[in-house]
A = this chain, B = another copy of it.
C-alpha cells in the first residue's frame, strides 16, 4: 500500500503531537495542516517546511488526501467531520467526538454509508498500562470486580467554552468502557463551578454498570497535585495504574479480604484481610499516540472497524450527556438509553 496521505485540522495543543506521528510513521505522509490561527501555522511550518498550510480546512479537500485528523475545539468537531466524510475522507477525531449524541449518530451513519473509517482519539485504549489492566481483569487474576475508581486532577487549562467534564472525563470514561467492555446503566454526577460562573472545574461521576458494578470518576482543573490514577479492586487482587509513578506505572497488589469459611460460636463471621506481595510488572511503553495513529492507518488499509470507533465515541458522548443532565438535576442518577 502507498503511504496514507493525511491532513491535520487544528494545530493547537494536541495537533502537533498527531502531526509528528503521522509525519514520522513510514506508512503515512503528512501532507497538510489547517488552522485558523497564523501563529499555529507558522509553528507547523518551522517543523515541517514541506507541508502545505492553510487557514481554511476546506482547502484540504482539493489535495487528494486519504484521511484527516480533527483536533479542533470540540464544538467544531461535528461540522468539520461531517464535511470531511462528505468529501470521502477517512476521519480520526479527537475526543469528545461530538457534543451531543445525535451528531455522533449522524457521523456514524454517514461513515458507514460511505464505507469510510471513523475513529475517535481515545488514546488510553492504546496505552500499554491500560491494556495490562484489561488483561488482569479478563484473565480473572483480580477475581470478581468490586469497583473502579479513577482520578485525573491538576491545575488545568481553563476553557470558557468547555468544562472539566467534557474536557477530562472522556479519558476516564473511555478507559472504563474499554476495561469492562460493558455499557453503564446509569450515571450520576456532581459538578462545581469554582472560578467562572457556569463552568464546572471540578466534577465527580458515579457510573453503575450491569450487576451493580460501580465506577467513580473524579476530574479536576483545580487541584494542586497532578494525579492520573485508575484503581481496580477485585475480590482476589487489586491493581493501580498511576501514571505519575516513575518506577513503574502499574502495581498489582495481592491483597484482599478473605471470606470466612466458618462462623465462630457466637454466630459472628470472621473476615480477615490479607496482604501479599506487590508486583510492579515491567511494561514496554510504546508511545500510545503512535499506536493509535498506526491503528487508524491499519483500519483504513484493512477495511476493519477500529477499536476506538465512532460507536465508542458515541458511547462516551451519551454518558457525558447523561452526566451533564444529572448535575442539572441535583445529582440524580440518569438512566442512559442505549
Instruction: Say which one of A61-69, A95-103, A188-196 lies at the interface with B.
Output: A188-196
Judged by DSSP, the binding face of A is: strand
Q: Does A17 sit at the interface, judged by CB under 8 A? A: no
Which residues from chain B contact A223 at a C-beta distance below 8 Å? Answer: 149, 231, 233, 238
On whether the beta carbons of B254 and A282 are closer than 8 Å, the reply is: yes
CB contact between A282 and one of B47, B156, B256, B275 (< 8 Å): that residue: B275
Which residues from chain B contact A256 at a C-beta distance below 8 Å? Answer: 155
Q: Does A139 sit at the interface, judged by CB under 8 A? A: no
Copies of the protein in its oligomer: 4
Assuming the A-B contacts A24-B47, A26-B46, A238-B224, are A280 and B282 also in contact, with contact meaning beta carbons closer than 8 angstroms in the complex? no
Q: How far is the CB of A246 from chain B (nearest CB, A)?
A: 6
- In angstroms, Cα B223 to Cα A233, docked, is 7
Q: Does A286 sit at the interface, judged by CB under 8 A? A: no
- In angstroms, Cα B258 to Cα A155, docked, is 12
Instruction: Say which one of A164-172, A309-317, A327-335 lies at the interface with B.
Output: A327-335
Which residues from chain B contact A272 at a C-beta distance below 8 Å? Answer: 158
CB contact between A333 and one of B224, B271, B277, B331 (< 8 Å): that residue: B331
**A14-32 contacts to B (CB < 8 Å):** 24, 26
Q: Does A278 sit at the interface, judged by CB under 8 A? A: yes
- In angstroms, Cα B132 to Cα A293, docked, is 40
Which residues from chain B contact A82 at a C-beta distance below 8 Å? Answer: none
Q: Does A281 sit at the interface, judged by CB under 8 A? A: yes
